[in-house]
Amino acid sequence: MSIGILALQGDFAAHAEALARLGAETSLVKTAEEVLAAGAIVLPGGESTTMWKLMEGTGIPEALVAAAQAGKPVYGTCAGAILLARTVTNPDGQGLGVLDATVQRNAYGRQLDSTVLSLTDVNTRVLGDAPMEAVFIRAPRFAAVGPGVEVLARREGSPVLVRQANILAATFHPELTGDDRVAKLFLESVAGAGRKAAA
């Protein structure tokens, strides 16, 4: 199952490296055709407004929605999570609408702009017992999530890692630490989609 990493802007190279560490092959995708050809998609961190500008008129947003709705595994971090959301605030903006969540951008103010935290409120059944080191960079916050959204980790009570069927989204950057548990979760869903396609 081919994994395409959207490579218009942001830390797509870090995602490629993190997935390569786990033995996964990826390709960098930059067009709607490449998005449609991929079996799974990664939306990196970066700047969501810039990503929207670069996607304008390319057909990529429609291709991403089609991929998500077709049940292909989709994994977004930080700006990538913002792209996936149904509702975007602060300022109000666009979202692809495939993740039933409201995302507040730059939610932690200037002083706490960027921080490394040890998340202790994690779903141990899915992620194991160890606290998760999490890098937040001008991070958004999931202000609300719908009933079909499973919360896998929280920071100060707010969801920071969520899963809705084939969609996985983090407001932090698992690709920037050595903790590969979130990437592994994505790869499990890629493997599951591959088995389904083969059956």
Residue closer to ligand GLN, measured from CB, 49 or 123: 49
Q: Give the CA distances from residue 122 to residues 73, 126, 136, in Å, rounded to whole numbers and listed in that order.
A: 21, 8, 16
Quote the least distance from Cβ 168 to ligand GLN, whole Å: 15
Quote the least distance from Cβ 129 to ligand GLN, whole Å: 27
Quote the least distance from Cβ 127 to ligand GLN, whole Å: 21
Quote the least distance from Cβ 197 to ligand GLN, whole Å: 31
- Residue 172 CA to residue 137 CA, distance in Å, equals 7
Residue 40 CB contacts under 8 Å (≥ 6 apart), including other chains: 1, 2, 3, 4, 72, 73, 74, 75, 186, 189, 190, 193
Q: Which of 127, 136, 114, 125 is nearest to 179 (CA)?
A: 127
Residue closer to ligand GLN, measured from CB, 106 or 123: 106
Residue 80 CB contacts under 8 Å (≥ 6 apart), including other chains: 6, 10, 42, 43, 44, 45, 46, 169
Question: What letter would DSSP give residue 125?
Answer: H
Residue closer to ligand GLN, measured from CB, 77 or 193: 77
Q: Which residue is nearest to ligand GLN (CB)?
A: 78
Contact (CB, 8 A) for 71 and 79: no
Catalytic residues: 78, 173, 175
Residue closer to ligand GLN, measured from CB, 47 or 133: 47
Residues that bind ligand GLN (CB under 6 A): 45-48, 78-79, 82, 105-106, 137-138
